[in-house]
Structure 1
Amino acid sequence: MSTPGMDTDVFEQFIEQLHRYVRERLIPAEREIIETDRIPDEILDEMRDMGLFGLTMPEEFGGAGMNVTQYAQTIRTLSYAMPAFRSIISINIGMVCSALKNGGTDAQKAEWLPRLAAGEIASFGLTEPGSGSDSAAMQTMAVRSGNGWVLNGTKRYITNAPFAKVALIMARTSKEALPKNAHVSAFLVPMDTPGVSVGKSDKKMGQSGSHIADIIMEDVHLPADALLGDTEGRGFVTAMQSLDNGRISVGAAATGYARRALDSALRYANERKAFGEPIAQFQLIQQMLADSEIEIYAAESMLADVTARADRGENVLRKAAAFKVFATEMCGRVVDRVVQVYGGAGYLAEYDAERFFRDARIYRIYEGTTQILQLQIAKHMLREWKAEQG
């Protein structure tokens, strides 16, 4: 079943407007954000007015109703600017909205989707101090209490935790590890619920203006309808389905940021002179520029393919993982070459190349590390091969 998405003409006008907004408003604001480590409230309000928090939410809930292809193109366009702008909206859209659409009850959708589309900020709580992709090691527990639940545990490295109004929290509803991760359920937790607290923002290598912190839950009492989908044991499955969208979003972000870095290197190579001519004239500089262009084009092609497949209703788990791995590793190689093109200046904080290098490093880690995704891809390949052998 194909996903129609936003009207094509309206979408093209939106992308053109966003392209201008990124270059005329967001990029000039980057220095201030680096100095203050926060996105100004007026820019957040502008992003809300543009509908950036509700890109894929159904129109009946106040969203734009974009399909996956349109969403990914929007993220790639936005991610030409520093990563904080994508980070603040992406958890709402790629993770929590996706989980609600796939697994929420009608009442949960009616309550939360309009609030998320309007720009209330959400967090997604899977990772813990002792577990990430390993759900069997998850410690956060949800225990039935009367008609509701009591949650206890700590979530680590949670994006947007200091700003969030709601978090989608994964918690064990069974002490035993069950097949297909049925011991994990998902809960919608308003952040002002008694017993919920947020640790101080972690200091990071890069991505100024984007914040991560611990979410600590101590005897947090939740009503029965906080359980996503009103069903136990579906939390991890819902989380993994949401991660497909999240991985496409990270891949699209890495592709957009690689383009920004390469454009910067092109400009610098034409301005910087050595031996009496621009360094852009030197063949080994040209090789680094060309290799970067080739790899960005490959990532753009993968992005177009995986999103088209998702919109046709195909299971894209493996291809979304493959795209995320390639695009993020590609971005790492591009920003490394960009530092090299800048030479000594690339190591100085006053030039952009140094920041691009630090910002891009996390793309290979969050929403599934390259290594975890390689294992996942191989596992699915081997499973399919065995099935074909009968």
Structure 2
Amino acid sequence: MDPINAEERAIVDTVREFVDKEVRPQVRDMEHVNIYPEAFIEQMKRMGVYGLAIPEPYGDLAVSTPCYALVTAQLARGWMSLAGAMGGHTVVAKLLRDYGTVAQRERYLPRMATGELRATMALTEPGGGSDLQAMRTHARRDGDDYVINGAKTWITNARRSGLVALLCKTDPAADPPHKGISILLVERDTPGYTISKDLPKLGYKGVESCELSFDDARVPNEALLGTEEGKGFAQMMRGLEIGRIQVASRALGVARAAFDDTLRYSQERESFGQPIWQHQS
């Protein structure tokens, strides 16, 4: 039984065709020279990829989780960087959908659904790795604002995202620590917010991974995701559920590409007068 309906199957087939006709013929050269895939991203926007997790009334192409996983796998089959370019965006969309205020949803989700506004999440810190409760980035209330100080690192798509879902401490004295963690929605033009540099990588080229700095960055109190401080850790863990599915789907797509290329090579390459696949050990 097909886990997706006919309309969703058509979406997956459209992405498959895009990958085969547009991505795979160019991806080797683009990966080697680390070119940002601007044209591919624009095509993904037109296909509705950035709105796959955004339901009506904010978007018009929301799909089931199995369909989302299959689309991700197809993109990764062509170039994992394309799947990575929409992964964090989807997590932020889910956070806004599940926990955002009406005003936050209306401000961000319609533009995120079209890809006009791209979003990412900022969790990892220098020296902190995945120990999120030990984070040092913090925000204190100052009248009608939060003032943020700290740094994040290895943030994918940060330079081209207009919105960052920032995990930070709003109550450093909370016990247990996770009860003092909140998510703030930081827009790109926020004073005091700086994308300091792109980090070099062995692979996963094309999309950027950056260091972020917050030096008395000031956002309004309305930037708090939802209405209550101290819920950020639980919110992010819930949002990362779709992120984990997305990462697993990327692996599936890369594995499929490796299998297909290996099979084709074994059928085309000959040695000792016959295709190499016939040389059984």
Task: Name the TM-score, length of structure 2 as normaliser.
Answer: 0.94
**Aligned to 2:147, which of 138, 145, 150?**
150
Corresponding residue for residue 187 of structure 1: 184
Corresponding residue for residue 170 of structure 2: 173
**Aligned to 2:246, which of 245, 249, 259?**
249
Q: Is the 8 A contact 1:56 1:63 kept in 2?
A: no
Amino acid at match of 2:221: A
Query: Is residue 271 of structure 1 aligned with residue 268 of structure 2?
Result: yes
Corresponding residue for residue 65 of structure 1: 62
Corresponding residue for residue 161 of structure 2: 164
Equivalent residues in 2 for 1:218-297, closer than 5 Å: 218-284=215-281
Corresponding residue for residue 121 of structure 2: 124
> Alignment partner of 1:266: what SS?
helix
For the residues of structure 2 that align with 1:76 and 1:180, how far apart are their CA atoms? 36
> Alignment partner of 1:230: what SS?
coil
> Alignment partner of 1:185: what SS?
strand
Per-residue deviation, residues 228-272 of structure 1 (Å, max 9, x unmatched): 002101111111111111000000110111010011011111222
Greater Cα shift, 170-179 or 71-80: 170-179
Q: Is the 8 A contact 1:88 1:121 kept in 2?
A: no
Greater Cα shift, 35-44 or 10-19: 35-44
Amino acid at match of 2:96: L
Q: Give the aligned length.
A: 277
Alpha-carbon offset, residue 47 of structure 1:
1.2
For the residues of structure 1 that align with 2:206 and 2:133, how far apart are their CA atoms? 33
Amino acid at match of 1:142: A
For the residues of structure 1 that align with 2:276 and 2:241, how far apart are their CA atoms? 41
Equivalent residues in 2 for 1:1-390, closer than 5 Å: 8-93=5-90, 95-119=91-115, 120-179=117-176, 181-284=178-281
Alpha-carbon offset, residue 34 of structure 1:
2.1
Q: Is the 8 A contact 1:147 1:223 kept in 2?
A: yes
Alpha-carbon offset, residue 178 of structure 1:
2.5
For the residues of structure 2 that align with 1:40 and 1:127, how far apart are their CA atoms? 25
For the residues of structure 2 that align with 1:208 and 1:220, how far apart are their CA atoms? 30
Q: Is the 8 A contact 2:144 2:221 kept in 1?
A: yes
For the residues of structure 2 that align with 1:40 and 1:69, how far apart are their CA atoms? 26
For the residues of structure 1 that align with 2:6 and 2:252, how far apart are their CA atoms? 24
Per-residue deviation, residues 112-150 of structure 1 (Å, max 9, x unmatched): 111211212212101001223312310001100002210
Amino acid at match of 2:219: L
Q: Larger % of strand: which? A: 2
The CA RMSD measured in Å over matched residues stands at 1.6
Amino acid at match of 2:176: P
Q: Larger % of helix: which? A: 1
Amino acid at match of 2:24: I
Alpha-carbon offset, residue 154 of structure 1:
0.3
Per-residue deviation, residues 12-37 of structure 1 (Å, max 9, x unmatched): 22221211111001112213422542
Which runs of 5 or more residues in structure 2 are unaligned? none
What percent identity do the matched residue pairs reach?
Answer: 35
Q: Is the 8 A contact 1:11 1:70 kept in 2?
A: yes
For the residues of structure 1 that align with 2:43 and 2:136, how far apart are their CA atoms? 39
CA pair 110-182 structure 1, distance change in 2 beyond 3 A: same
Alpha-carbon offset, residue 207 of structure 1:
1.3
CA pair 263-124 structure 1, distance change in 2 beyond 3 A: same
For the residues of structure 2 that align with 1:146 and 1:180, how far apart are their CA atoms? 24
For the residues of structure 2 that align with 1:196 and 1:163, how far apart are their CA atoms? 14
> Alignment partner of 2:79: what SS?
coil
Alpha-carbon offset, residue 197 of structure 1:
0.6
For the residues of structure 1 that align with 2:108 and 2:250, how far apart are their CA atoms? 26
> Alignment partner of 2:57: what SS?
helix
CA pair 14-135 structure 1, distance change in 2 beyond 3 A: closer
For the residues of structure 2 that align with 1:129 and 1:171, how far apart are their CA atoms? 14
Per-residue deviation, residues 175-206 of structure 1 (Å, max 9, x unmatched): 22523711110000001111111122111010
Q: Is the 8 A contact 1:130 1:138 kept in 2?
A: no
Structure having greater relative contact order (Cα 8 Å, sep ≥ 6): 2
